[in-house]
Amino acid sequence: MKILISDPLAQEGIQIFKDEGFEVEVKTGLSPSELKSAIKGVHGLVIRSATQVTPDLLDSADSLKVVGRAGTGLDNVDIPAATAKGVIVMNTPGQNSNAAAELAMGHLFALSRHIARGHRGIKEGKWEKKQLRGRELKGKTLGIMGMGNIGRILAELGHGVKMNVIGYDPYFKAEEIKARGAEPVSFEDLLARSDYLSIHVPKTKETAGLFNAANIAKMKDGAYLINCARGGIVDEAALCDALEKGKLAGAALDVFEREPLPADSRIMYADDVVCTPHLGANTHEAQVNVAVAVAQQMSKYLKTGVADFAVNAAK
């Protein structure tokens, strides 16, 4: 059976496929038309965030049995179309959670102590010591939206610097959120009480545009908003308005409505915003973890029919 890897994958994952006896082709950066040609005769497709698994692509797949996402997010996969074609879609949840949580924590420090602006000023020959008085995290309230693996690890990190941690997740019971290290609160309380509000939920119909002007207005005055989850959950225009009006003290974004971030984006020129280019899972450790996991899961499914972490059921 044949495996096509259409996005970069750590060598450790590629080797697992080879050791399991699969024919492996690594073809990254293909155009949609090139991918439609390359997928013929392929039984397993390995993707990350760049490849778009569309109905058109699935129509060209004459042998495809499984799509494996080396990571968590699946907003680049048309899952209903895959299901209709009898193609299993699976991801690797939890394998990059530590990386994402550590990045979010890093953004808290960067915002609180003006690290990015201080660094930029030094490079430009400035010495802005008086202008860059920061805040300490100790004793502040960290609000976490989404108490899955990433939220749970971030809660641990928050407690480590003596923050008060509150959490909201409609899919967990109050006692489950408490067991994951956060005081369970409503969404309204999360907005009102958080000094730092960090988002860790997938982009869905319910969460797209959730942090709009109305909900940002409900946040605590002088709070910080951090999004290392998915672009489009935060309304960037509303965020810029809130920053310009002084409603929020700052924001940190690792994900954006459009990626790469266009040069004319207001976020590019907004004050008190720290930006990174979608680095959440981009650590050496996380890349190996997701590569190994997706290779093991897909190999198991193709050989035994057992689908770990499948998000659909093939018809």
- What token pair was written down for 231? 């672009």
* pLDDT of 72 higher than 90: no
Q: Tell me: the pLDDT tens digits for 231-266?
A: 999 999 999 999 999 999 999 999 999 999 999 999
Write down the pLDDT at residue 210.
98
* pLDDT of 75 higher than 90: no
Q: Tell me the pLDDT band of 271, cut-offs 50, 70 and 90.
A: confident
The DSSP annotation for the chain comes to: -EEEE-S---HHHHHHHHHTT-EEEE--S--HHHHHHHTTT-SEEEE-SS--B-HHHHHH-SS--EEEESSS--TTB-HHHHHHTT-EEE--TTTTHHHHHHHHHHHHHHHHTTHHHHHHHHHTT---TTTT-----TTPEEEEE--SHHHHHHHHHHHHTT-EEEEE-TTS-HHHHHHTTSEE--HHHHHHH-SEEEE-----TTTTT-B-HHHHHTSPTTEEEEE-S-TTSB-HHHHHHHHHTTSEEEEEES--SSSSPPTT-GGGG-TTEEE-SS-TT-SHHHHHHHHHHHHHHHHHHHHH---TTBSS---
The residues assigned a catalytic role are 230, 259, 278
Average pLDDT, integer, range 66-85: 94
Residue 165 and residue 181 in contact, taking contact as beta carbons nearer than 8 Å: yes
Write down the pLDDT at residue 123.
97
Nearest to 105 by CA among 150, 145, 148, 149: 150
Query: What residue ranges define each of the domains in the chain, with the CATH number in brackets?
Result: 2-95+284-304 (3.40.50.720), 97-275 (3.40.50.720)
Q: Tell me: the pLDDT tens digits for 151-169?
A: 999 999 999 999 999 999 9
* pLDDT of 314 higher than 90: no
Write down the pLDDT at residue 19.
98
Q: Tell me the pLDDT band of 73, cut-offs 50, 70 and 90.
A: confident
Nearest to 213 by CA among 231, 197, 237, 233: 237
Residue 67 and residue 39 in contact, taking contact as beta carbons nearer than 8 Å: no
Average pLDDT, integer, range 84-96: 95
* pLDDT of 118 higher than 80: yes
Nearest to 311 by CA among 43, 11, 35, 73: 73
Q: Give backbone dihedrals phi and psi of 218, rounded to 5 degrees, phi first.
A: -85, -10
Write down the pLDDT at residue 315.
67
Average pLDDT, integer, range 98-107: 97
Average pLDDT, integer, range 12-19: 98
Q: Average pLDDT of the chain?
A: 96
* pLDDT of 229 higher than 70: yes
Q: Tell me: the pLDDT tens digits for 168-209?
A: 999 999 999 999 999 999 999 999 999 999 999 999 999 999
Average pLDDT, integer, range 135-151: 97
Q: How far apart are CA 64 and CA 304, in angstroms?
A: 16
Average pLDDT, integer, range 140-148: 98
| Percent of the chain with pLDDT strictly greater than 90 | 95
- What token pair was written down for 59? 């129509």
Nearest to 52 by CA among 18, 81, 86, 15: 81
pTM comes to: 0.88
- What token pair was written down for 313? 């059921």
Write down the pLDDT at residue 275.
96
Average pLDDT, integer, range 138-143: 98
